[in-house]
Structure 1
């Protein structure tokens, strides 16, 4: 009977200790059976420390009630006096209703939790076999199994063993149970036992020493005849023994089941014989097995029966497992299998599926197994059936980043702990997270989450699942994996002689030098060397898929030497998308991009960022350049900083161009070369405009502070104004200024000319970067005229002295830097000149034609082939541009679409206006794009500008690869160029010359 007034204090204490039904708990504590325990605060504290104090108290009452009268005192005394026992017993009772049921049925089994010696903490198979030794039938085996399981659960919930040790102990208990069940089967049929040798091979989680509390135990049976026995009769006997073993473990008795034994991973699955000979197994695996079967065999482990036969099976199938990655489409098959698993989850369960769903345990296991199978061919340290051990080996070998491995390990342990606790409650096979709040509360508390268990559990689960999903996508779908899997085994680890022969076969001109590079990159036992050994076999193939493999490998060594102590570099190449392949393409495609990269090796990071190859817009670039200039101490340092930005962005543009031109496994060759040309032209134009803006700011700051005495603008001309710059193009410009109010014109002119002179000096300081030359020769009076003029001066000159070629040049005029409003007023000034209201008179047309003809004869370099000169030759850039510009000057006033500085846009506008036919427009556009790409290719390949194809064979081949022509097709490339430009010249003759 509860004493009046005591209820409220006990009630509140029970609430504080985590009881959700204090009233029921009070009634239970008042039962006579708990009289010896009732007043002890230690017991209440221990109950409050469990996952579910209400469940623990109910289980304790049932256990005490089930004790014989003479033994009850021993239980209560031990419970009060021995803290380790108290924590273990109540911890189990507060976590597992099923084990509480077992203790109620077998009340003396609590004594299995009393001993707490060091030797008891981590029992092995032999210890569990002793615990099962007294079992003489399936029922007593189940009881003994549950008693052993009770001890494992006690160690688990008290934190004596971690989740990996728990899983290993469960696998050891399963091994002991399979042995005990086989012994019972043999005892029941001694004549069958005498006829055959039978080995039991554990698969899945049991084979991997990472079993759940409740799980199918996957096995494969191998049988051989005993001496003198017919094979057929021996296999029949072995099949009867195997079937009996499965029934002993799987059938339901008054003590329930142990677990189902599943043999469906055997050859041919359910349709195949339950027991096969070793030779039959091998014949199947060598001829018929699918990819997933080799993945399953990765965890195979002999656990029961004939030990020699089991060992022979493992020895025979292991080499097949580690050759599986050489199968055609191996990586994609494994990836498809994982996707099928997710697709088959019922829609209503996806968000609760702890094992199979996205971000679940299978994501970790599949990623680890795929990496093992690909890299384990040449690295025996990866040959582990345990997920966490294999993950640690992958990290140690450099195949997975340490931080990624640590996060994955942490997440996997948390998810497995959730799975264990969910199953432990009722010992049912489930991987679904419960929905009821009381179940979630118990689950959260069992994992140490006590402040707000339900909310904390949800947050932790989502966090770990997100980590798993992210890293699964990163590792499981890593492009490098497929490339490594496609290598022959000998290519992964080559002897020096074999490597030299392999390099020569791949097209390396100097195999000895290449071997030295490989040795320097991959020798030693460091993590860096290990990662390089993984990368290099694949990179060698990618370098070989270029015109100059030797240059690619040399560039890679230089970049690796420069970034050798940078932790993110090799991690980037190993982990991030197509970074390694992108780098290989860039390093082996010519001189420009590698030279830029070696001056700023950290730009490698651009290649691993999906957004990294997209060009930055002018506003973004100008902002960055001006900020860098603002931090510099003087004008020289400011321009150095601006050049640093330009160098990085030139590399970004060149890399994107090369990768788009070559294509990669994930991103095939860009279909429209015109897109590449436009992107390069716009990117280089924006970059040079930002650099000039930076030089202008640097000069003004150094001499005048924040404001120049005259407003000043830089007008882009030629390809600069047309947004069509190539990698080696000069920047044609005009400089315009306008004195500020109250400033003398002569003072303004001196300031403007000083700015121009200093800008040109700074931009022409010696550097290893591609030069940015400012060319102002298109200004009025050419080289004889002043570098900078006022807006009024330009107006006076153009009104009185302007020639037709100057009006034509102004078609490309566009403000690029400096005072925007002044630049716009300059454009308004010149619009009537470049788009005359009455079009062009015949005299002007004749003058333009005469100038063009004169340029063709006088400016083409001596000895140059006019059919192959991209700028001035037949059907080249000049032909197309002068034709388009003539159309602009004639019709620009009437057709707004023609008022553009861009050649291709003006050509499209002329087509839209009906000024040119579709065939003619396509012919001119194709020739212009091709000629522009040839010039860009020459600069990329040689590292210096050029207007015609290189004569050196390797350089010519590299230009061909850039343009889409494979090895041996450079002649076809030159023929195609001549054909395209010849057709363009015919159009020019008609449209420009009026032929």
Structure 2
């Protein structure tokens, strides 16, 4: 028994001496009964040959492979015996038979050719010279003197050429279908084989004209043949160039030479395209020559040069990108290509060059038959032409300045564009994968009948053969169709992104000479893209990219892309200005522009960031090295608090006796981490709760670093240890772990004298520390301030700045009011002596979590205080409905609901003992104190208002509580919140709706409940 995997990957046990139609069908044969009959016809040894059966099952079309094998065995039964001694032969031959009916027929007609696929020769890749020699010998010419006997191009000669060519095609296809060659190796060998056939065809033509040595004729390969990326069956595009040789008498007859060269060219074309009993090779197409089919078939070098300098259209220079000598006089061909290259790489300076190339692609696409458009691999949307045109346009625009882009073939050119930063790595990878996949499909389709086609067939059997030919075995039709559509869609998306890249022409050829795009036109384009100050934008572009420095060259590479990214951001002008400012600071730093050029994700993120957030741009100005965070999601994760704290304290310790420097370094760390949080927020990597956590943790770390520095400063000035323990208690949004970008740090200070330390001295030292802490964090700096606000301490501004633990206990026992109990709900240890901080929190617990809840009188007092705050604290002239903090349904409304629930019930329900608003609401639902529907309404309003407050800071660079009246600022904020460019009114309507619903809940739960 032998185990063989069937089409679905399942194993099947096949008896060595017996197969059935049903079993064969399960293994992949479409017609099991017919397969059984054909196997029987091969003889008893074949019927029992499990290796043979496994090889057949592994082909793209087992039925087709078995049919061709059966026919070949009738002509040459020895092939089956050779299979047993050479498994590689069996795999290659059957692999070809399963893909190509046409090559199967060829081997049946010429059974000696199956031997090309056996032994060591089967895997050897022939050189270009070997292919030429073989095909020249086939037509009776010597490789050293490629001119057969004089006479007519007999049918026998043409047949011999075709037989030799197809033998080589068979040899190549066998290595292709078995995966022994890459796509680039396959297309290069096909191109070399075509060149060899043209050389043989030219030898045949010379044999008909004994005087042919009086003219030099070069055949220039164009299109895919020129680029060495030819298909299996394709027209071979050529251009002919000729020069007369000097006669024996020293005279030159150019006209006669061109006439003779034309006859040679025509003879060569006939030798390849004439139909014979062995068919034809392919059409030789000279339509890409000057003036196309209306122009002379052959021209001299000077005539070509004159035409291209004066008359050539844009598409003709695009075609010349692929030009390569492939047959005839190699020296003359080299001269032609060298001469043309100088003009090709200046073509982008032509007026409307980019627009012409784009228009050509649209014309090509418009001529695709509607019925075939979705199945066209070459010309349809998402087809090969989409990829090729995009690559060629970028090559021609940027290749003038960057010689590394001057590649003929698509994949090497795409790789060069990626290395140079002209195409993002991910985009280049996706395009290369799509191109490779589409070319593989094209090859499989063409190999089947050796016919020139680029249309994916519709029949299930054909689709199944294609899928299996690409090693898809579980669901060949479904998997093939899915992958093909996916690659086509991605190719189309990237084509439109790259091919119609904003300002590609204008910026790639930024003003250096008179023929550049006019300032008026450039301004119009910038304005159309959304720049409100096109004059300023042009000034920034010029400053960044003018000159011959490496920096300017890379900026010319970056700007075409980044201008489009800025245009996609909410504020393109601010984005471009910020980019110029950061580039001015970092442009001379080698890694900066190299990073943007090589890491497209970084440049893309930077453009969107600069065009979205003044706050983030400001952070980056004084810490531009933070740009390295962009482009990697892992870099956007908030850093662990322990790591930040260790780093901040280490910074302070490096400056003993220099508290200002130490805190300055810690504030620099805070700036960097604020930037990390801002970009994580803007990119949607973290949500509003995570933003609050990250900002609160960062403030705690900064306060601790400043406290370390303050203690060191006070001890140095007093020349004695502090003598008291000191702790900072977070209050308000900091205590609630809900800090926003513009939040102050609400705190209380507590100290506890060490044993033997007089309380008065200890209190003086604690005051000195508290004041120094506030001073250090308020020092003028380009870093965002962290204002320490101690107004929530007992007695508010009138009370002592610092108290002992005993003083807090005495005050709260005797004087505490309901609002102070409410404020303590958000109290949390922040910095300093943790044991002391926890002691104060334990002291506060009976006030904020009263065992029996608060009295009805206290509830009434809180409600009155809330109502008075709504009436008195709202800024004059502010629209209450748009005030995120104090407006109806805003932050304060939601927070007071949560806090009242805590004051009434947290004493008996530990789940409510949290400093965080949303956690309180969720816990209230769990304790059945609040319905899920009410919690959802309140949480949505709180999150919306919090996001708006943060968005205001991110966009404007400064804090505000009200949604701006200014239409433009409102639009920018709405974009940060994820609304479309025209969605600012929807944003305001959504906020009003959310807060109205929240206010209804507040009135019912807070004021009535």
* TM-score in terms of structure 2 length: 0.60
Q: Offset of 1:327 from its aligned partner?
A: 7.7
Aligned pair 1:278/2:287, yes or no?
Answer: yes
1:512 aligned counterpart, secondary structure: helix
Distance 1:392 1:276, change over 3 A: closer
Moved more, 889-898 or 811-820: 889-898
Q: Offset of 1:913 from its aligned partner?
A: 2.0
1:569-600 superposed Cα distances (whole Å, 9 cap, x missing partner): 12222222422221122212242111111121
Of 954, 957, 963, the match for 2:968: 954
Q: Which residue does the alignment assign to 1:676? A: 687
Task: Give the Cα separation in 2 of the matches to 1:243 and 1:504.
Answer: 54
Q: Which residue does the alignment assign to 2:943? A: 929
Distance 1:526 1:280, change over 3 A: closer
Aligned pair 1:640/2:679, yes or no?
Answer: no
Aligned pair 1:220/2:236, yes or no?
Answer: yes
Q: How does 1:481-560 map to 2 (within 5 A)?
A: 483-487=497-501, 490=505, 493=508, 494-560=517-583
1:837 aligned counterpart, secondary structure: coil
1:339-393 superposed Cα distances (whole Å, 9 cap, x missing partner): xxxxxxxxxxxxxxxxxxxxxxxxxxx9999866544345344342279996997
Q: How does 1:163-178 map to 2 (within 5 A)?
A: 177-178=196-197
Of 622, 630, 649, the match for 2:673: 649
Aligned pair 1:782/2:792, yes or no?
Answer: no
Runs (5+) with no aligned partner, structure 2: 1-118, 125-129, 131-140, 150-156, 166-184, 241-255, 294-316, 348-352, 366-385, 429-489, 509-516
1:695 aligned counterpart, secondary structure: helix
Q: How does 1:374-393 map to 2 (within 5 A)?
A: 374-380=394-400, 381=403, 382-385=405-408
Q: Offset of 1:911 from its aligned partner?
A: 1.6
CA contact (8 A) 1:547 1:954 kept: no
Q: Offset of 1:743 from its aligned partner?
A: 2.6
Q: Offset of 1:400 from its aligned partner?
A: 8.6
Q: Offset of 1:827 from its aligned partner?
A: 2.0
Runs (5+) with no aligned partner, structure 1: 1-95, 102-108, 110-127, 146-165, 252-260, 264-272, 285-293, 331-365, 406-475, 661-669
Moved more, 529-538 or 518-527: 529-538
2:979 aligned counterpart, secondary structure: coil
Q: Which residue does the alignment assign to 2:703? A: 692
Q: Which residue does the alignment assign to 1:895? A: 909
2:748 aligned counterpart, secondary structure: strand
Task: Give the Cα separation in 1 of the matches to 2:923 and 2:652.
Answer: 40
CA contact (8 A) 2:731 2:746 kept: yes
Of 833, 836, 839, the match for 2:847: 833
Q: Offset of 1:537 from its aligned partner?
A: 2.4
Of 773, 779, 789, the match for 1:759: 773
Distance 1:607 1:895, change over 3 A: same
1:447-469 superposed Cα distances (whole Å, 9 cap, x missing partner): xxxxxxxxxxxxxxxxxxxxxxx
Task: Give the Cα separation in 2 of the matches to 1:803 and 1:914.
Answer: 28
Q: Which residue does the alignment assign to 1:966? A: 980
Task: Give the Cα separation in 1 of the matches to 2:822 and 2:209.
Answer: 106
Q: Which residue does the alignment assign to 1:417? A: none
1:947-978 superposed Cα distances (whole Å, 9 cap, x missing partner): 10223332222112122333343333222222
Task: Give the Cα separation in 2 of the matches to 1:991 and 1:974.
Answer: 25
Q: Which residue does the alignment assign to 2:204? A: 185
Q: Which residue does the alignment assign to 1:723? A: 737
Distance 1:368 1:642, change over 3 A: farther
Distance 1:958 1:139, change over 3 A: closer
Aligned pair 1:873/2:887, yes or no?
Answer: yes
Q: Offset of 1:304 from its aligned partner?
A: 2.6
CA contact (8 A) 1:714 1:823 kept: yes
Distance 1:393 1:838, change over 3 A: closer
Q: Offset of 1:864 from its aligned partner?
A: 1.6
Task: Give the Cα separation in 1 of the matches to 2:991 and 2:980.
Answer: 15
Distance 1:689 1:304, change over 3 A: same
CA contact (8 A) 2:826 2:916 kept: yes
Q: Offset of 1:736 from its aligned partner?
A: 1.6
Q: Which residue does the alignment assign to 2:813? A: 799
Q: Which residue does the alignment assign to 2:78? A: none
Q: Offset of 1:484 from its aligned partner?
A: 3.6
Q: Which residue does the alignment assign to 1:7? A: none
Of 594, 600, 612, the match for 2:623: 600
Task: Give the Cα separation in 2 of the matches to 1:368 and 1:919.
Answer: 56
1:183-206 superposed Cα distances (whole Å, 9 cap, x missing partner): 343367789x9xxx9996658998
Q: Offset of 1:648 from its aligned partner?
A: 1.3
CA RMSD of aligned residues (A): 5.4
Task: Give the Cα separation in 1 of the matches to 2:496 and 2:518.
Answer: 23
Task: Give the Cα separation in 1 of the matches to 2:653 and 2:495.
Answer: 46
Q: Offset of 1:859 from its aligned partner?
A: 1.2
Task: Give the Cα separation in 2 of the matches to 1:401 and 1:977.
Answer: 38
CA contact (8 A) 2:197 2:272 kept: no
Task: Give the Cα separation in 2 of the matches to 1:609 and 1:743.
Answer: 53
Task: Give the Cα separation in 1 of the matches to 2:542 and 2:274.
Answer: 58
Q: Which residue does the alignment assign to 1:567? A: 590
CA contact (8 A) 2:605 2:630 kept: yes
Q: Offset of 1:175 from its aligned partner?
A: 9.1
Of 640, 647, 651, the match for 1:624: 647
How many residue pairs are counted as aligned between the two chains?
A: 694
1:969-988 superposed Cα distances (whole Å, 9 cap, x missing partner): 33332222222111111110
Q: Offset of 1:940 from its aligned partner?
A: 1.7
1:646 aligned counterpart, secondary structure: helix
Task: Give the Cα separation in 2 of the matches to 1:884 and 1:847.
Answer: 16
Distance 1:199 1:677, change over 3 A: same
Aligned pair 1:745/2:765, yes or no?
Answer: no
Q: Which residue does the alignment assign to 1:241? A: 271
1:928 aligned counterpart, secondary structure: helix
CA contact (8 A) 1:735 1:788 kept: yes
Moved more, 930-939 or 874-883: 930-939
Task: Give the Cα separation in 2 of the matches to 1:371 and 1:630.
Answer: 55
Distance 1:810 1:492, change over 3 A: same
Task: Give the Cα separation in 1 of the matches to 2:238 and 2:829.
Answer: 82
Task: Give the Cα separation in 1 of the matches to 2:899 and 2:189.
Answer: 82
CA contact (8 A) 1:635 1:699 kept: yes
Task: Give the Cα separation in 2 of the matches to 1:503 and 1:569.
Answer: 26
Distance 1:172 1:993, change over 3 A: closer
Task: Give the Cα separation in 1 of the matches to 2:830 and 2:575.
Answer: 37
Aligned pair 1:658/2:662, yes or no?
Answer: no
